[in-house]
Amino acid sequence: MSARSENPGASSELTAAGEPELRACAQPDPALAGTPRAEGTPPVRPALGCGRRGRNCSSRAGRGGHVVRGCRDKERAWEPERSGTGGLAAAGHLSNSMASPKKKLQGLVAATITPMTEHGEINFSVIGRYVDYLVEEQGVKNVFVNGTTGEGLSLSISERCRVAEEWVTKGRNKLDQIVIHVGALSLKESQELAQHAAEIGADGIAVIAPFFLKPWNKDVLINFLKEVAAAAPALPFYYYHIPALTGVKIRAEELLDGIQDKIPSFQGLKFSDTDLLDFGQCVDQNRQRQFAFLFGVDEQLLSALVMGATGAVGSTYNYLGKKTKQMLEAFERKDFSSALNHQFCIQRFINFVVKLGFGVSQTKAIMTLVSGIPMGPPRLPLQKASREFTDNAEAKLKSLDFLSCTDLKDGNMEACS
Ligand SMILES: CC(=O)N[C@@H]([C@@H](O)[C@H](O)[C@H](O)CO)[C@@H](O)CC(=O)C(=O)O
């Protein structure tokens, strides 16, 4: 199947009478006024420690007189108390408890890509441009850093710290919320990343289930998450449910039952799965709680909105943020047929690339093409997307009116090759 052989410039929208009506995917762009970092929200604190470029991690005096070592220290004596009220965790807590309560994470959240050079090193130099692109071109003001799309698990701990710092620094006064994924196979590393996120002034942390030696039931998983959360007790904590990648099939609905008793900083769920029964029950059983329910399957977001999703974290919001916001706005004003039309258009693109083979590598290639910011190749074991893939994706984006020739700034294609 060739992208060019299709004629997808129109999509089927259900009319009030239920009759399909052909309508072009292109919609006039409403003014997507972004919300600046909330008044009264504390400014991002300056980055501390290990992530500074050109500097190796070393011990430093932390808050409360504790010696806090950098992210790369292997031998740190980490002893957060089970209650989460003592030791180094308490140092983080004291500093963070001064902060006013964070506003709820909602709306679109871009799962950020980690830009890399052709030599496989992280290209920190483009992150500032990336922030501006998300805010100004896509109207997206929340980011989820070092997750799946960011190849977080393929980075060293030191690299993860430095990437997080760069986002916090460059996002200051521009982004609303910066959530750092701190999941790792090692509890110690996860705690280290969590504390680092608190130190640099991130807005929240998220954690996946450890996926090599796996928790075998809900209580064990909760115990793991609780220990990570205790390292940054004042930071909103999100559980990142992505069973297809972790292989941990514990249902989110089960996990959420009573979770705040164990993890007081628990704030919500990032749900990257297609089981809408599980997702719906997470929402239904927690209606009295102010949790954030962030859906992570971009092609099914509309269904999740109906189920009560309060926001969405995904890879496509990097370059289809503006389009997806149109769907959210239609949903808000209860214009469901228009919302469905938007969702179908987005599905057409995702369906097309999924058939070609779609993952993090392809996301990097598409984002490079659309934004003109060189995202570089992925890190092994992932392989760079082929030129053929990028050509086909480009044709599809254009045919859906997701990309016009004027969007393609000089050098976008060069950046792809
Ligand atoms: C498996 C996967 O990568 N899922 C993506 C989706 O945004 C996905 O790319 C999209 O729905 C297209 O299938 C996100 O859920 C991942 C994500 O939020 C992350 O990078 O942490």
- In tens, the pLDDT along 272-308 reads 999 999 999 999 999 999 999 999 999 999 999 999 9
Peptide bond into 381 cis (omega under 30): yes
Comparing C-alpha atoms, which of 61, 66, 34, 45 is closest to residue 231?
66
Asked whether the whole model's pTM tops 0.90, one would answer no
Examine the residue annotation and report whether 238 is marked as an active-site residue of this protein. Answer: no
At 126 the pLDDT is 98
In this prediction, residue 104 has a pLDDT band, given cuts at 50, 70 and 90, of: confident
Ligand 1 centroid – CA 28 distance (Å): 27
Which residues sit with their C-beta closer than 6 Å to ligand 1?
Answer: 111, 144, 147-149, 272, 296-299, 313-316, 350
Among 86-90, 238-242, 256-260, the range scoring the smallest mean pLDDT is 86-90
Q: Where does 272-386 have alpha helices with state H?
A: 276-284, 301-307, 317-332, 336-356, 360-371
In this prediction, residue 235 has a pLDDT band, given cuts at 50, 70 and 90, of: very high
At 45 the pLDDT is 36
Q: Using an 8 Å Cβ cutoff, are 96 and 235 in contact?
A: yes
User: Which residue's CA is the closest to the ligand 1 atom numbered 2?
Assistant: 148
Whether residue 27 is predicted with pLDDT greater than 50 in this model: the reply is no
Which position among 130, 133, 239, 240 bears the catalytic label?
A: 240
Task: Look at the domain 107-416 and name its fold.
Answer: TIM Barrel (3.20.20)
User: Which of 182, 275, 315 to probe ligand 1 with, by most ligand atoms within 8 A of CB?
Assistant: 315
At 325 the pLDDT is 98
Sketch the domain layout of the chain as residue ranges: 107-416
Examine the residue annotation and report whether 214 is marked as an active-site residue of this protein. Answer: no
